[in-house]
Structure 1
């Protein structure tokens, strides 16, 4: 399953000598990490990146911020001269230079390839021109022997775990330093070669997806939505009918309505990355409009399916709604494929 918060992370720290060019070193390092991930299809195509420069004594004081959507090893390296131009030239011992990259990648299940728009993230920081810090985070449970709902998945782990293990070892060789696994979290415990075997160590929490991930996704979605009037209930224990919605050719989520209760809403497809949450704002606002028209939830669902296409906020993929036995079943679907 694909999560909105990291399943695990790993860090490498490299002391620097002399007075390296922080931007160029950070860009070259991030390109090298991308190359390693790309070799194992953990970073493919092009990612989204953000560069920032902040004062050490005030991280919230951003002196420079730049975003771009074509990040891969080639474009990262080609931006090095740009990063060394005038706005960056005054970066020194009082600054931290950071580049963070969202990496689309592939995870495997029964030989089938599944793409996630945020499988990993790479963060490269240069502190005071004296320390290089690389952090790698993953947002998939494909490397675990038990998924984030506590179900055994030894075959999926066998298909994927060795790819992560090889990448971690190769990054350590590239950086010429040992990897430091991140702290245990409610999903899993990172290790130098990937993750501890939950079958041996045991899970820290029961069903962390249901306990933590759904609320994390809800908070993330709400961050895009302005305050407004009352609307449909967001939860139900009854079956739901739903449509898959796509934007710019990518499935971004599902609009749904309960069968028998006053509940309806939008569930983001986390494998679509940030676009799933950005698109969610439009559908939630349409549900508010339907609610103001006093439409019953199932009528609102049909109205949304037509209205979304009319105003260009998304395309409904089915001609008739599908049905899930529960909202929980739909949420699990949205976090997997």
Structure 2
């Protein structure tokens, strides 16, 4: 199951390590996606973002661009994204963009399974301060599933992969990630999720909000 809110997130403040703007943000996204792809966590397939205007806020307009015939390193990608600006809003600016794709997780028997949006990568080109955020919404990274059942084999096959990717992202970006705020579905720590609190051998049942 996929939780409606993240079970863990990690934030990188890139103000001192990269320039603001769309081109540097795409370069950051490409570097991070290469790391995540090497760990089998993200195969980039599309970009998604929203539009806003200074002084007005969000416009309620979303855009997307397929990556199936191009890569994040494509030099024409930035101009194609700008070309998606709503015609009726010439001063519209884009929010941070999400790199959408599928990733691989392993079940208790070791079988590899493909899952859409296994991780989500958000990169912001904000002129005030560029940043990036990685979030996860599934229970394969946690010591218990969302029903509270301990699943040590699933945890052992997946959590170390996420931890390794987070460490490598720190090294590639040159800055350590800050764990996000706890949510109903999990509490992030430096390189993974905090262990579930057990009562009579079971974790909390979180499916009431699923």
Same fold (TM over 0.5): yes
| Shift in alpha-carbon separation, 1:86–1:121, aligned structure 2, 3 A | closer
* Equivalent position of 2:209 in the other structure: 212
* Equivalent position of 1:29 in the other structure: 28
**Pairs within 5 Å for 1:92-103:** 97-103=95-101
* Equivalent position of 2:117 in the other structure: 118
* Equivalent position of 1:196 in the other structure: 194
Note if 1:12 corresponds to 2:8: no
Greater RCO, 1 or 2 (C-alpha within 8 Å, sep 6+):
2
| Shift in alpha-carbon separation, 1:76–1:3, aligned structure 2, 3 A | same
State how far apart, in whole Å, the 1-side matches of 2:138 and 2:111 are.
16
Q: Deviations over 1:86-134 (max 9, x none)?
A: 96xxx99x9564211222111101210111111111111122x241111
Q: Deviations over 1:189-242 (max 9, x none)?
A: 11111111115799xx83112x100xxxxxxxxxxxxxxxxxxxxxxxxxxxxx
| Shift in alpha-carbon separation, 1:50–1:39, aligned structure 2, 3 A | same
State how far apart, in whole Å, the 1-side matches of 2:196 and 2:84 are.
50
State how far apart, in whole Å, the 1-side matches of 2:196 and 2:35 are.
27
Note if 1:49 corresponds to 2:47: yes
State how far apart, in whole Å, the 2-side matches of 1:86 and 1:186 are.
36
State how far apart, in whole Å, the 2-side matches of 1:137 and 1:174 are.
18
Q: Deviations over 1:38-85 (max 9, x none)?
A: 0111012x42321444334433137x853123269x522211354477
| Shift in alpha-carbon separation, 1:115–1:27, aligned structure 2, 3 A | same
Find 1:184's aligned residue among 174, 182, 185.
Answer: 182
State how far apart, in whole Å, the 2-side matches of 1:95 and 1:17 are.
23
Note if 1:75 corresponds to 2:71: yes
- Report how many aligned residue pairs link the two structures: 202
* Equivalent position of 1:327 in the other structure: none
Let me know the Cα RMSD of the aligned residues: 3.2
State how far apart, in whole Å, the 1-side matches of 2:54 and 2:16 are.
17
State how far apart, in whole Å, the 1-side matches of 2:31 and 2:135 are.
16
DSSP 3-state at the match of 2:71: helix
Runs of at least 5 residues in structure 2 that lack an aligned partner in the other structure:
none
Q: Deviations over 1:145-178 (max 9, x none)?
A: 1111111111111111111001111111222112
**Pairs within 5 Å for 1:206-285:** 206-209=204-207, 211-213=208-210
Bigger helix fraction: 1
Q: Whose radius of gyration is greater, 1 or 2?
A: 1
Contact 1:146 1:153 in 2 (8 A): yes
Contact 2:3 2:185 in 1 (8 A): no
DSSP 3-state at the match of 1:148: coil
User: If the length of structure 2 is used for normalisation, what is the TM-score?
Assistant: 0.82
State how far apart, in whole Å, the 2-side matches of 1:71 and 1:49 are.
10
* Equivalent position of 1:133 in the other structure: 131
